[in-house]
């Protein structure tokens, strides 16, 4: 088969090789940021994912979930049916602790090790990352209510996967979803109209509609609703202690551009039983602890998609000949591939540095850096995916070659957990409420001071723009972009080979850089950069 494909000038599928072993930037970041102790676990995951799970991801996307609102007698079921491959993927992620590792092993580097695991799984199927991410992020939010945390955390961190809905007393494991937004409010969650009526003893009754409910097949959800003292956070189980279903009705599943293996739903709460989490009237600060962790996963997921797209593009170019020689040796294609590699490596080093901030409890730095990374890395995802797809020509536009799915998936991480505008406004909010966060970010950037004149010049301009208080909201994207690029360049200058750092600074910080991928200036060591990223 391989010889036949070579004769027809068609590259073979990229499969069967460990996904982690050739990913040099990921392994370097894992070791550098404190996760070296988990390297064997990450490598084992990369080996296993390169086999049958690749097929599971394809099948789960080819057979998207279906809503079963009623049984044959007209009684409400409110269930979502998934292809068996979806359950295999989700079970795989749970068994490897992607939803719980830092809570099960609270040691230095745990968030970094999980970052490597999550980034790698994202290259096989991103949809399963949603319930894994929210279950992971629910734990720190639930800790605002110690009694609820004591009840649910052992289940949320279990390595068992039970897909059936069972009463809490019969479940040894659980997955958690989230329902924040409503049709009239969207990101403006203070406009929510879902009503919470107190029942006493920490119990509440919720009535209202949620426009987006993520992972609606989960065992429990964190929900926002209006209590007498203001917007509050609640835990809502799907099954009540007596075994009856909560009044949680699935209205329809969203027909999404991408992320098709995963279900997102509109739901109606009709007097659903829930439990208060955190102080009444402090719903946003309570649930934001969950959002901060899921935003990190948006960055990690995008870094994984970038790695997948880069690897596929390089692999194709190495096995495809055009105009008398391999495509990878054509100068302009080398320029494009090297530029894709730079973006992928910058996303990886940024994501892992932010993950270390979660390990070390660097709260002001973490808050600002997470918002910056969420904005910039996720904003770069779709253009990166489009360029990688184009490296395959018409084949890239065909589902069989995998990058069409990556392209459809790529916009989601910039939308989920706050769009680009929302994150840029969060950057301004962090600068205003925690000015020390900017000091810490600039101190991180200044660790590379004097190493590259272009970075020094970029930081000098950035400081002037930060000192200008005029029209900050109007300029929020510009400021966020400049801060994110300064952080990325500093990390690359300090930690990546000079060939990579020099090319990144020339392409991203110099004034004469092009806007499209493949506009690296002459003199860049494109061959060495591509070789560093070969799958």
DSSP classification of residue 51: S
pLDDT value at residue 168: 79
First-to-last C-alpha distance (Å) of the chain: 21
The answer to whether 168-281 and 286-532 have equal CATH topology is no
Q: What residues does each domain of the chain span?
A: 24-156, 168-281, 286-532
> For 286-532, which CATH superfamily applies?
Butyryl-CoA Dehydrogenase, subunit A, domain 3 (1.20.140.10)
Task: State the angle between helix axes of 476-495 and 331-360 in degrees (0 to 180), rounded to the nearest 10.
Answer: 90
For domain 168-281, give the CATH number: 2.40.110.20
Report the C-alpha gap between 512 and 510 in whole angstroms.
Answer: 6
Q: Using DSSP, state whether 444 is helix, strand or coil.
A: helix
**Backbone Cα Rg of the chain:** 23
Report the C-alpha gap between 2 and 457 in whole angstroms.
Answer: 51
pLDDT value at residue 410: 98
pLDDT value at residue 166: 83
What are the C-alpha distances in Å from 227 to residues 16, 72, 195, 205, 385?
A: 53, 37, 6, 10, 43
Q: What is the DSSP string of 456-501?
A: HHHHHHHHHHHH--TTTTTTHHHHHHHHHHHHHHHHHHHHS-HHHH
Which positions of the chain have pLDDT values less than 70? Answer: 1-6
pLDDT value at residue 362: 86
Q: Using DSSP, state whether 252 is helix, strand or coil.
A: strand
pLDDT value at residue 5: 54
Q: Which of 197, 263, 262, 184 is nearest to 227 (CA)?
A: 197
């Amino acid at each position: 088969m391989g010889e036949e494909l070579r004769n027809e000038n068609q590259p073979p599928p990229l499969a069967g090789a460990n996904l982690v072993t050739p990913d040099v930037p990921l392994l370097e970041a894992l070791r550098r940021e404190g996760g070296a102790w988990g390297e064997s676990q990450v490598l084992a995951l990369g080996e296993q994912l390169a086999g049958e799970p690749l097929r599971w991801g394809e099948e789960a996307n080819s057979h998207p979930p279906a809503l079963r609102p009623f049984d044959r007698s007209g009684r409400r079921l409110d269930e979502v049916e998934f292809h068996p491959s979806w359950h295999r993927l989700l079970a795989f992620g749970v068994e490897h602790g992607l939803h719980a590792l830092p809570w099960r092993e609270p040691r230095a580097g745990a968030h970094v090790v999980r970052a490597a695991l999550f980034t790698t799984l994202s290259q096989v199927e991103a949809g399963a990352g949603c319930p894994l991410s929210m279950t992971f992020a629910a734990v720190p939010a639930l800790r605002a209510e110690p009694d609820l945390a004591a009840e649910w955390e052992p289940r949320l961190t279990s390595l068992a996967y039970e897909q059936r809905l069972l009463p809490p007393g019969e479940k040894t494991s659980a997955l958690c979803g989230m329902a924040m937004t409503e049709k009239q409010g969207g990101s403006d969650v203070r406009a929510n109209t879902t009503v919470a009526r107190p029942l006493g003893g920490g119990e509440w009754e919720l009535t209202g509609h949620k426009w987006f409910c993520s992972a609606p097949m989960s065992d429990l959800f964190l929900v926002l609703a209006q209590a007498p003292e203001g917007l509050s956070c609640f835990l809502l189980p799907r099954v009540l202690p007596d075994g009856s279903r909560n009044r949680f009705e699935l209205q329809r599943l969203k027909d999404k551009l991408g992320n098709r293996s995963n279900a997102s739903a509109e739901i109606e709460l009709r007097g659903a039983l829930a439990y208060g989490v955190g102080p009444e009237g402090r719903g946003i600060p309570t649930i934001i602890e969950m959002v901060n962790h899921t935003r990190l996963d948006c960055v990690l997921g995008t870094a994984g998609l970038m790695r997948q797209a880069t690897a596929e593009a390089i692999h194709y170019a190495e096995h495809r000949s055009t105009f008398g020689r391999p495509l990878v040796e054509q100068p302009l294609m080398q320029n494009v591939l090297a530029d894709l590699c730079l973006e992928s490596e910058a996303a990886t080093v940024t994501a892992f540095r932010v993950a270390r901030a979660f390990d070390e409890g660097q709260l002001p730095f973490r808050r600002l850096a997470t918002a910056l990374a969420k904005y910039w890395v996720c904003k770069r995802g779709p253009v990166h995916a489009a360029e990688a797809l184009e490296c395959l020509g018409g084949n890239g536009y065909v589902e069989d070659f995998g990058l069409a799915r990556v392209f459809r998936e790529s916009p989601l991480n910039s939308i989920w957990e706050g769009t680009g505008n929302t994150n840029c406004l969060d950057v301004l909010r962090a600068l205003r409420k925690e000015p020390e966060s900017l000091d810490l970010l600039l101190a991180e950037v200044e660790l590379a001071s004097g190493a590259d004149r272009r970075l020094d010049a970029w930081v000098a301009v950035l400081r002037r723009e930060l000192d200008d208080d005029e029209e900050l909201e109007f300029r929020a994207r510009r400021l966020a972009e400049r801060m994110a690029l300064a952080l990325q360049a500093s990390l690359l200058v300090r930690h990546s080979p000079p060939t990579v750092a020099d090319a990144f600074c020339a392409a991203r910080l110099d004034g004469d850089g092009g806007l499209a991928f493949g506009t690296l200036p002459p003199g860049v060591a494109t061959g060495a950069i591509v070789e560093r990223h070969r799958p």
